[in-house]
Amino acid sequence: MPITVSWINPQTGRRFPAALLLILCGGLLVSTTGAAPYTPDNNNTVLATLSDSQRALTLASPPQNEADALRLARAQIDYGRQQGDPRFLGYAQRTLAPFSQPPSPAVSLLWADIEQQRHQFTRARTRLTRLLEQHPNQGQGWLMLANIERVQGQFDAARQACGNAANSLPPTTVVLCQASVQAMTDQHQRAYATLQSLADSPLVSDTTQSVWLQTLIAEMAIQQGEPERAQRALDAALALAPQDAYLRYLQNDLWLQQGHPDAVIADLKNWQDRDNALLRLAIAGQRSQHPQAGQWQQAYQQRLDAAEFAGRTVHQREHARYLLQVDPSPTEALAVARDNWQQQKELTDLRLLLAAATAADNADAQATARDFIDTHGVHDAALQAHWPEAQP
Amino acid sequence: MKHCLILMLLLACAPAFAHKPSDSYLSLNSVSSSPQITGRWDIALRDLQLVIDLDSNNDGNITWGELRNRQPELAQQILPMLTVQTGQGETAQPCPLTLTGLQANDHVDGTYAALHFQGNCPAAPSQLGVHYRFLFDRDPSHHGLLKSNHDGVELAVTFSDNQRRHHLDTSGAGQWQAFQGFVHQGIHHILIGYDHILFLLTLLFPAVLVWQRGGWQPAPTMHGALTQTLAIVTAFTVTHSLTLALATLGIITLPAWLVESAIALTVALGAAANLLPGLFPKRWIMAFVFGLVHGLGFASVLADLGLMGDGIVLPLLGFNIGVELGQIAIVLLFVPLAYLARDTALYKRVFVPVGSVAIMVLAGVWLVERLS
């Protein structure tokens, strides 16, 4: 049991000196997973609260027909993504299990979605490729495949997958798909212009498509070093989808970049149960010397420890960022950023790799990043800040 | 469908997951000298809820009372999803598990039910097979994280849907490794046993001082301070080792509440002695007498590990050495600092008296808690 007693002596107002010693000794303690168990002193003590959606999405009896199963699994996956709660992927897996021998195209797509969310990219790619060989009109499958290829830096394959979706999806969707890939290549200027004119046209009226469009514009504006333009796009997107976790994190990262840690703390204080929010709170708290900064950092560190204890490595991107920005440890950060780079090659990952390589002064990793930038013609203001000569 | 499609693409790989995935934490303690195994299984209430409906009044909250009312289901439905057996293959024999207690435990992602259990193997286990079947039919991504401790040697394995059985091969752990394990346990337990630390420190506060003319004076020589320290530590060690051995061998048995209360009392008396040094001139005698009580406290740790009775000379010795090593570390940390500070008013007039009063109050609180 870790000792953290440190009470004030009522007579003297001094901190109890022995407590300091105890804390010293406490530092020597071996920490174990989970504190000591306890017996609550009251039967009415609330130990856990179940949300309505949670109860609705964890039915005792699984759906008996495929249509119901698809609806439930879709809802479970979406809720899990929205809440950042991986248990719901497991529930969806179970919902789909009875309809997976062999799976219909719709079931396959949901399986691929679960797999890619777990960063099992190879499995998801194999599954999608096999599906699309037999059902080339599954536009959604092409979009998912394009996304996986893009995340893994296979931009030619990604563009081809976007193109294949054109047979079954509306042209605006295909344009958005292509632009998301071009953003990482020397086509970024053209893609940025296309997106802006698309935003000014009446072609995109569907809410979710508009959110996607504005999100891409915001990301590309950040990439171009136009924070005000990015903020406008973010405002537009957040007006349509205020609770969207991805957008919220993008907004908070922009605030961090622009030196507004207080805005981050105000926005994410109620999201502390989510790792991604906790990481940003730890960064913002440290920068603004917030009284809770240490607490957020410790909480995030505990999450990392718990993941490590369970042998999970899905958090590499965030882990690298933590080691760069919260608890600086360049060598370790570089090791994690490199492992992450094997899995994911989005702009965020490239920025982390380069930042870690620079911090650790590692020429080899710098060359890896440089090669990637040169090969694909990546343009990014943040990268240039790290490495001014990165652009021709 | 379009809604999902775009949202999916938009968010696909970006955020790594926030909440922790579903894990349960399992610990299993066994020794090759006893057929009894003990353990604890921490299960997230959210996960438990999938198997047994804990929210009896359906208000969306799981209370301690609701959890407690489900003890029969925990014993009959949940615990059987874990089976432990000793031996291997055809010679394997089950160690039936029984629920011995229920508590709550807070992990990083919320409150868990802590199931204490005990198992009786037909023979003292040399090798344990564990079969884990909890929750996989509701959440195939669930994991069970097991830490086992056999003769003080720790082993960690993970159960998953595809790996539901593990064989804990303890034969590779030689006696030396087991011995080291116990030394480690001993160090660990003196360092986390704050009442023992506090008792020792309380006695050592004035070891660098001498009581003269109604006030504390700094010990004139290093030699004097060292002699006092050595006398106190040796006396404490001799007697607590004695009762630790006697209790572990089953020669003395006292109820835990009595031992724990007596320990709290020794801490309070030790602090009182610092305030009334005239009444307690020989501190080593106090260490000698009260060491008897603290040894019984250490023994309860070994008992918690399932170590009692015959064939435990080696674990006992290792554990005792560990306790002494931890104790030496504390002394080496404290005494030089105290020696350097002994001449300051802060040490003599604030640290010793105020610290002693505070410790006395704290120990008084423990005493009341432990007696109630």
Instruction: Write out pLDDT tens, residues A281-302.
Output: 999 999 999 999 999 999 899 8
**Residue written as tokens 């809802």?**
A75
* A354 is a domain residue: yes
The one-character DSSP state at A167 is G
Please state, as a whole number, how many other Cβ atoms lie within 10 Å of the Cβ of residue B364. 15
Q: Average pLDDT of B167-187? A: 71
What is the model's pLDDT at position A10? 34
Using CA atoms, how far residue A232 sits from A217, A221, A251, B13, B213, in Å, is 9, 10, 11, 24, 80
The residues pairing with B37 across neighbouring beta strands, listed in sequence order, are B119
Distance CA B341, CA B233 (A): 20
Q: What angle do CA A139, A145, A150 make, to 5 degrees?
A: 125
* A84 is a domain residue: no
pLDDT at residue A15 is higher than 50? no
* A72 is a domain residue: no
Q: Where are the beta strands (DSSP E) in chain B?
A: 23-30, 36-44, 61-63, 82-86, 93-94, 97-107, 110-120, 128-132, 143-150, 153-159, 165-168, 209-212, 215-218
Share of chain B above pLDDT 70, in %: 90
Of A97, A208, A246, the CB nearest to B3: A208
Task: Give the closest residue to A81 by CA, choosing from B49, B139, B10.
Answer: B10
Using CA atoms, how far residue A17 sits from A142, B190, B350, in Å, is 66, 21, 9
CB-count burial class (<10 Å; 0-12, 13-18, 19+) for B8: buried
- Inter-chain CB proximity B111 and A306 less than 8 Å: no
* A4 is a domain residue: no
The residues pairing with B114 across neighbouring beta strands, listed in sequence order, are B42, B103
What is the model's pLDDT at position A287? 95
Does residue A287 contact residue A252 with C-beta atoms inside 8 Å?
A: no
The one-character DSSP state at A11 is T
Distance CA B340, CA B57 (A): 63
Does residue B116 contact residue B99 with C-beta atoms inside 8 Å?
A: yes
- Inter-chain CB proximity B10 and A206 less than 8 Å: no
pLDDT at residue B354 is higher than 80? yes
Distance CA A27, CA A17 (A): 16
Of A12, A209, A274, the CB nearest to B354: A12
* A327 is a domain residue: yes
Sheet holding B97-107, edge to edge: B97-107, B110-120, B36-44, B23-30, B143-150, B153-159
Q: pLDDT grade, residue A152 (50/70/90)?
A: very high
Q: Average pLDDT of B45-51? A: 92
Does residue B12 contact residue A152 with C-beta atoms inside 8 Å?
A: no
Average pLDDT, whole number, for chain B?
82
Q: Give the minimum alpha-carbon distance from B91 to chain A in angstroms, rounded to a whole number.
A: 32
Query: Residue B267: CB partners within 8 Å, gap ≥ 6?
Result: B195, B198, B199, B202, B359, B360, B362, B363, B366
Counting every residue written for chain B, the total comes to 372
Query: Residue A292: CB partners within 8 Å, gap ≥ 6?
Result: A281, A285
Average pLDDT, whole number, for chain A?
86
Q: What's the number of domains chain A is made of?
A: 1
Q: Average pLDDT of A44-48? A: 91
- Is the confidence metric ipTM above 0.90 for this complex? no
Using a CB-CB cut-off of 8 Å, the residues of chain A touching B200 are none
Q: pLDDT grade, residue B18 (50/70/90)?
A: very low
Long-range contacts of B80-84 (CB under 8 A, 24+ apart): B81/B132, B81/B133, B81/B134, B81/B135, B82/B26, B82/B41, B82/B130, B82/B131, B82/B132, B82/B133, B82/B134, B83/B130, B83/B131, B84/B28, B84/B37, B84/B119, B84/B121, B84/B128, B84/B129, B84/B130, B84/B131
Distance CA B342, CA A229 (A): 66
Does residue A383 contact residue A390 with C-beta atoms inside 8 Å?
A: yes
* A246 is a domain residue: no
- Inter-chain CB proximity B111 and A48 less than 8 Å: yes
* A194 is a domain residue: no
* A339 is a domain residue: yes
Does residue A291 contact residue A280 with C-beta atoms inside 8 Å?
A: no
Of B15, B67, B350, the CB nearest to A249: B15
- Residue A367: which domain range? 319-392
Q: pLDDT grade, residue A348 (50/70/90)?
A: very high
A208 vs B: CB within 8 A: yes
What is the model's pLDDT at position A99? 92
Q: Give the minimum alpha-carbon distance from B356 to chain A in angstroms, rounded to a whole number.
A: 8
Using a CB-CB cut-off of 8 Å, the residues of chain B touching A303 are 20, 108
pLDDT at residue A36 is higher than 90? no
Please state, as a whole number, how many other Cβ atoms lie within 10 Å of the Cβ of residue A197. 10
Query: Residue A190: CB partners within 8 Å, gap ≥ 6?
Result: A182
Q: pLDDT grade, residue B5 (50/70/90)?
A: very low
Using CA atoms, how far residue B285 sits from B202, B203, B207, B282, in Å, is 14, 11, 13, 6
